[in-house]
Structure 1
Amino acid sequence: MNRRNFLKWSGFGLVAATLGGLGMREAQAGNRYYSGPVSDHFDGKIFFNPGGEEPRGFTDLLRWQFGGGKIEWPKPVMAADFVTTKPEQRVDGERLVVTMVGHATLLIQTAGLNILTDPVWSERASPVSFAGPRRANPPGVAFDDLPTIDIVIVTHNHYDHLDIATLKRLVERDKPRIVTPLGNDRIIRDDIAQIDASVTDWGDRLDMGNGITIHCEPCHHWSARGMGDRRMALWAAFVIETSGGKIYHIGDTGYADGKHYRDLREKHGDIRLAIMPIGAYEPRWFMKAQHQNPQEAIAGFGSSGATFGIGHHFGTFQLTNEGIDDPPKALAAAMTAAGIGTDRFRGLRPGQQFEVPRASA
């Protein structure tokens, strides 16, 4: 496998290792993104999942990369599977409309606020423009058709979730408030000095106005932009509390025996909508600890007590071995087995929208 193909294969920040291991010596001296007190998920230098599994190392990465089993995605992807949508400018009151842009980028509209998650409009999820995972389809919403964005949630720093080029465009145009876990603000500020950022730790809550509160909650994942900064910034899920109900959003997570779903239900009670990843899960021996599959997502949906659900993180960037249609097929099978109808949980394609009913409806 040559350098270019290796870059095409490797998501999740590890591609930067091929560019010279930038920051390896710095990493030995301490955490370049965050300093703070020791906690149950921070040891003074790196973050970790309490009682959880650590991400696999470089040897296992090479074993995966050279082990075969990758299902090639069609090129081009059938255009009929994707649409372009122009969202409403505002959605007021207790209405809740979610539009899939692609991968983990979703536009959440409710209570007169426009909230964007993990915005990526770039052509590649990569630290470089010439290589790395490339979009299989255009964004489901053209950037110029986006309504004014009030809040941006960045769940963690992997390149398919934290895209500096897109954040620059959003800050220049809308000056949104950026909500992100500990350490990620430093990464953003290195390239975008003037940002309105709210930095959160697990358990924190933020009053966002318009009757909306955002809670930062645990999930089972990791972080890296290169080989020298592994787990130096925190990852998180978020609960958006509104007058019309609570919205649970996870950018990436392993199932981890469903603990964070059960804890969520105990802490937050009824959830109107759960937005969770269902892709990037093969091979299981490598991905299981950090990326849940559709069966685990549906199990977590049941444990969370959510009334409605949206599956994301599939069909846009090929990061792992499964085929482009494997996640929605596996999702349909898991929903049938669990007795969950398509009116309750949807795996949205780019451009598709879901106007979520009231939980009591």
Structure 2
Amino acid sequence: MDENENSQSPMTSYQYPKETVRKRQNSVQNSGGNVSSRFSRKSFKLDYRLEEDVTKSKKGKDGRFVNPWPTWKNISIPNVLRWLIMEKDHSSVPGSKEELDKELPVLKPYFISDPEEAGVREAGLRVTWLGHATLMVEMDELIFLTDPMFSSRASPSQYMGPKRFRRPPCTISELPRIDAVLISHNHYDHLDYGSVLALNERFGSELRWFVPLGLLDWMQKCGCENVIELDWWEENCVPGHDKVTFVFTPSQHWCKRTLMDDNKVLWGSWSVLGPWNRFFFTGDTGYCPAFEEIGKRFGPFDLAAIPIGAYEPRFVNVYFTRYDS
């Protein structure tokens, strides 16, 4: 986190520490009860096919998370630098605004303020792509965002660092009601500090954040109160919408925001399971055995959001190719 992030207001007295949240979840899970609170947890009646073995998250001797599959290859900085110097740019990104407008136009999204009046059924599934990995998903009477990124740069500073080619199609102030946000991992292009602040300012404690293990403290320092931190295969819901289950599922990736915090936060995908629809969001990932496990346990899905780009160099298996997808 940069100096601007650290300078934000400290946690207030009504924010729950990590231990409280985890114990709250575990106590309700063990009892099988349904608690009506900001950190409510329910024992969901899903066909999990529990006889199937699944891969649990794992930490190394240094206490940091690791990828538990043989498909993972450790990232070698010298190899990456050699690739950057020796290889040509195969991205084929248009070089002018005119070409970009033609190839990838930015269209104003149409948000429905009154679903009933618009004839939208409660069992419907509607997805709006808002750029990069940000989706607005409307399903089973809930609206949620994935990895919201509305800033110009994926960087600790908005004055330098990777800049987006296309502006977001809307602002956070133009969004309809949002019930939940799903975060897959903590890289700057998926966990955007400015977007987190803006969403929290607009929706406050009514907005539920689902985040990976190890990210709760960072979210609370941003002022977010309604945060649920999950390990792989753990689940939760939005209060008042118990029929829709949010499950944090595995992926093959890594986490880092500062020089020394490699893999202190878990990474993963999201399986959203409702009474009428099932939605899968991979986040960033390389192909690994986890997806067969997810498919056996929660599939088939009605819609899956899977990346198809940024997969070179191939010796770093942290992104899907279009064939993997």
TM bracket, shorter-chain basis: 0.7 to 0.9
The structural deviation recorded for 1:141 is 2.9
- Shift in alpha-carbon separation, 1:292–1:138, aligned structure 2, 3 A: same
Query: 1:52-71 counterparts in 2 under 5 A?
Result: 52=70, 53-71=72-90
> Greater share of helix residues, 1 or 2?
1
Q: Secondary structure at the match of 1:267?
A: helix
1:288-334 CA distance string (max 9 Å, x none)? x100110110xxxxxxxxxxxxxxxxxxxxxxxxxxxxxxxxxxxxx
Query: 1:1-361 counterparts in 2 under 5 A?
Result: 40-43=57-60, 45-52=63-70, 53-71=72-90, 73=93, 74-76=95-97, 77-80=99-102, 81-82=104-105, 83-89=107-113, 90=115, 92-175=121-204, 176-190=207-221, 192-208=222-238, 209-210=240-241, 211-256=243-288, 259-286=289-316, 289-297=317-325
CA distance in 2, matches of 1:46, 1:54: 16
- Shift in alpha-carbon separation, 1:106–1:78, aligned structure 2, 3 A: same
CA distance in 2, matches of 1:195, 1:75: 43
Instruction: Give TM-score scaled by structure 1 length.
Output: 0.67
The structural deviation recorded for 1:221 is 0.7
- Shift in alpha-carbon separation, 1:195–1:69, aligned structure 2, 3 A: farther
Q: Is the 8 A contact 1:92 1:110 kept in 2?
A: no
> Unpaired runs of 5+ in structure 2?
4-17, 23-55
The structural deviation recorded for 1:40 is 4.9
The structural deviation recorded for 1:139 is 1.1
CA distance in 2, matches of 1:187, 1:47: 17
Q: Is the 8 A contact 2:57 2:231 kept in 1?
A: no
1:195-224 CA distance string (max 9 Å, x none)? 210000001011224221111111111110
With a CA cutoff of 8 Å and minimum separation of 6, indicate the structure with the bigger relative contact order.
1
CA distance in 1, matches of 2:108, 2:262: 36
Deviates more, 1:58-67 or 1:117-126: 58-67
CA distance in 1, matches of 2:139, 2:224: 27
CA distance in 2, matches of 1:131, 1:63: 23
Q: Secondary structure at the match of 1:66?
A: helix
Q: Secondary structure at the match of 1:199?
A: strand
Q: Is the 8 A contact 1:248 1:271 kept in 2?
A: yes
Q: Secondary structure at the match of 2:280?
A: strand
1:43-76 CA distance string (max 9 Å, x none)? 3611111124244032233223323412463232
Q: Secondary structure at the match of 2:303?
A: strand
Q: Is the 8 A contact 1:202 1:217 kept in 2?
A: yes
1:213-267 CA distance string (max 9 Å, x none)? 11111111111012311111000111101111211111111012xx122111211
Instruction: State the percentage of identical aligned residues.
Output: 29
CA distance in 1, matches of 2:77, 2:142: 42
CA distance in 2, matches of 1:253, 1:135: 20
Q: Secondary structure at the match of 2:315?
A: helix
| Residue identity matched to 2:147 | D
Aligned length: 260
What do you get for the CA RMSD once the two structures are aligned?
Answer: 2.4
CA distance in 2, matches of 1:68, 1:249: 31
Instruction: Give TM-score scaled by structure 2 length.
Output: 0.74
Q: Is the 8 A contact 1:84 1:139 kept in 2?
A: no
CA distance in 2, matches of 1:87, 1:70: 37
- Shift in alpha-carbon separation, 1:65–1:127, aligned structure 2, 3 A: farther
